Structure 1
Amino acid sequence: MTPDIVAAEHLLPGIVAADVPTSRLRMRMLVREAQVDALADAGTRRVLVAVHGNVSSSLFYQRLMLALPDDLLVVAPDLRGYGETEPAPIDASRGLRDHADDLLALLDALELGAVDLMGWSMGGGVVSRVAADHPERVRSLVLQAPVSPYGFGSTTDVSGTLASADAAGSGAGGANPRFVELLAARDTDGQSTDGAPEAASPRATLRAVYVAPRAEPWPDEDMWVASMCTTVVGPDHYPGDATASENWPGFAPGRRGILNSMAPLYCRWDDLVEATPAPPVLWIRGDADRIVSDTSALDLAVLGQIGLIPGYPGADAIPAQPMIAQTRAVLDRYVEAGGRYEEMVLPGIGHSPHLEAETEVLTAILAHLERA
């Protein structure tokens, strides 16, 4: 099919936006301008689908899209609740399956068979969910700083054991209220002091945890922050709803919205080890990642350990979530089951290797696709 090309903001030269009606919802995606005509027979081409992470959109992929070779058809969709895709509500009790099923519906609408999938952060969980549920649709996987196969927060070991039965301390209740307020207002900087963005603002958050901190802003920073501010805010989207808990820190995941969909009560992709056929996996991460880490700056257990959240019951009761170790343990099991993976660790790089080390990531992706 040939989707409708639409006007959009923050696009780089050579990138266009298109709306695609699917069986589930209308999805916005980016494609290279020179490849629009190729969408008409996309099913006959090698296709890479690049899936963004939480509090972001397809805009984050533009530089990488433009750098990829012309013979690779590349599309980058907006997930529901982000960018310009129809903001259908998110049923958190399905984990990341709302997003995974939307992605499958997009592949169907574009008449695509097996594709190469790249997922960043939350998007890594989405594409892994697609591969676990429908491995025949996945030629290869690129997981860039993926959310743990046991979700985010409130697990204690490499097997994903819950710290408490209700997964207290994970989900929507952990969102910074001021960050949520500024996102809702699409306020990139908040109340700045001496030209510096407010600490809880989208811009300050990007500088602190999306990328490894550096002295000068990145040239594309305004575009990235604008992308963050497309996040739909509310109980059905970001951050979701929360429930009270008798366990520390006093709240547990609700059943609506994106942060709850990544809570360990609902988010799992460790069953990827059962995928048949088993697509080859390239796992890319930076060793300075402050979001997906064994000592994540967003893990409430870590914040409790340093005294930022009162009443912390101690590391024996609620240790920091071993996110990297959990992912490696699942991928090692994947190999034992007949799959294969390669781990690429980039020194000094944060949560966004494709932004911070584009050349290295591009080279690794192309080699991975060549081998797949």
Structure 2
Amino acid sequence: MTDVRTVFDGIAELSVRTERLVANVLEREAETAAEAETVVFVHGNCSSSLFFQPVMLRLPVQLRALAVDLRGFGGSETLPVDATRGVRDFSDDVWSVIDALELGRVHLVGWSMGGGVVLQQLLDRSDSVASVTLISPVSPYGFGGTAADGSRLTDDDAGVGAGAANPDFVARLADGDRTDDAPTSPRTVFRSSYVAPGYSGEFEDVWVESMLTTVTGAENYPGDAVESPNWPGMAPGPRGVLNTMAPKYFDVTGIVDLPQTPPILWIHGTRDAIVGDETFFDLNTLGKAGVVPGWPGEDVAPPQPMLAQTRAVLERYANAGGSYRELALPDCGHSAHIEYPDTVAEAVVELVASSRPSA
């Protein structure tokens, strides 16, 4: 057990019962809540809404800020994740919270996997979205297993999904490991992957507690894997968190065809270790580097150019009538909202203002 105080002063914790689940929600109330525009934050993998508190507290009091714990994370109900729906179990859950609270049109902010969730929300109900902010989002084509143009490398997405998770990291999450004794401990993974090298902050214990709320197993994180005849010998199964982002289940490039095109802000760090054009969280990158043996070569298993894919899809979105802004932060890793909370808050406020109809 731990005595770390995880909810900051100025943030309230709500339990919201919807038709889909009982969700834990953090709220920074607006000065006039009944009239305020609402910003809804959606966290990424192996985390929770706790990570958004620094940005929530920096938003002006004219805005209401809510952060939703996804199923199997934070304080929300643990329910199985059907990966064959992509991230729709998550996006439908978030919409159910928004509907239960009768929020109307909202501004969505999604981090990492949460970026994919809010793009799915945009796809499903674009008329209910006022703006979208993506923080180090998963590629619109999913995580791993695609070429630069988004085409799938194999018919079973070999090397993608739950089978790529480090089993010792998963075990340490399940055991509640708060040490920094191993490269695979959550605290060490936070330092090496969630933030840029050299980052230090006073709330590291809170971020580790957030990571440790992750429910592990075949139905949740990381999910299940199946054998594959293709290198490296495994492919995503139909269950669990990591498999939701397999390209055979996940593709949100349909945003380029939407009738409503709210403005999009894309924020990412230039030193992001998780989402990049050749990230070491991609088995094809590890194969190319000789870390995973038997790599069949660049023609068969190239690393996924995640940033280039995101940029290309957002350019198509802009060409179709939407708009987007890219904000690349130097010396920033995967978590701009805790590394540069003032910058992120200012950018979100600017986006919200730009999305309002002209007088």
Classify the TM-score, shorter chain.
over 0.9
Q: What whole-Å deviation, never above 9, does each CA across 1:51-103 have from its counterpart, x for those lacking one?
A: 11100000001111111111100000100110010111100000010101001
Shift of 1:37: 8.8
Of 322, 347, 353 in structure 1, the residue corresponding to residue 330 of structure 2 is 347
Shift of 1:324: 0.5
Alignment correspondent of 1:193:
none
Q: Percent identical across equivalent pairs?
A: 49
Alignment correspondent of 2:184:
200
Cα 1:56–1:48 shift into 2, 3 Å: same
Alignment correspondent of 2:23:
27
Of 360, 366, 369 in structure 1, the residue corresponding to residue 343 of structure 2 is 360
Alignment of 1:292-311 (within 5 A): 292-311=275-294
CA contact (8 A) 1:244 1:250 kept: yes
Q: What whole-Å deviation, never above 9, does each CA across 1:128-158 have from its counterpart, x for those lacking one?
A: 000011101100000111100011011111x
How far apart are the structure 2 equivalents of 1:262 and 1:77? 19
Of 124, 131, 134 in structure 2, the residue corresponding to residue 140 of structure 1 is 131
Task: Please tell me whether residue 165 in structure 1 is matched to residue 155 in structure 2.
Answer: yes
Alignment of 1:1-372 (within 5 A): 10-32=6-28, 35=30, 38=33, 41=34, 44-157=35-148, 159-189=149-179, 196-214=180-198, 217-372=200-355
Q: What whole-Å deviation, never above 9, does each CA across 1:205-260 have from its counterpart, x for those lacking one?
A: 0001100011x632110000100000000000000000000100000000000000
How far apart are the structure 2 equivalents of 1:246 and 1:36? 58
For normalisation by structure 2, the TM-score amounts to 0.96
- Structure 1 runs, 4 residues or longer, greater than 3 Å off: 34-38
Amino acid at match of 1:208: S
Amino acid at match of 2:280: A
Shift of 1:308: 1.1
Partner SS for 2:260: coil
For normalisation by structure 1, the TM-score amounts to 0.92
Amino acid at match of 2:336: P
Q: Gaps spanning 5+ residues in structure 2: where? A: none
Shift of 1:12: 1.1
Partner SS for 2:247: coil
Partner SS for 1:73: strand
How far apart are the structure 1 equivalents of 2:89 and 2:151? 24
How far apart are the structure 2 equivalents of 1:64 and 1:45? 17
Alignment correspondent of 1:192:
none
How far apart are the structure 2 equivalents of 1:325 and 1:178? 31
Number of residue pairs matched by the alignment: 352
How far apart are the structure 1 equivalents of 2:18 and 2:217? 24
How far apart are the structure 2 equivalents of 1:317 and 1:218? 42
CA contact (8 A) 1:132 1:274 kept: no
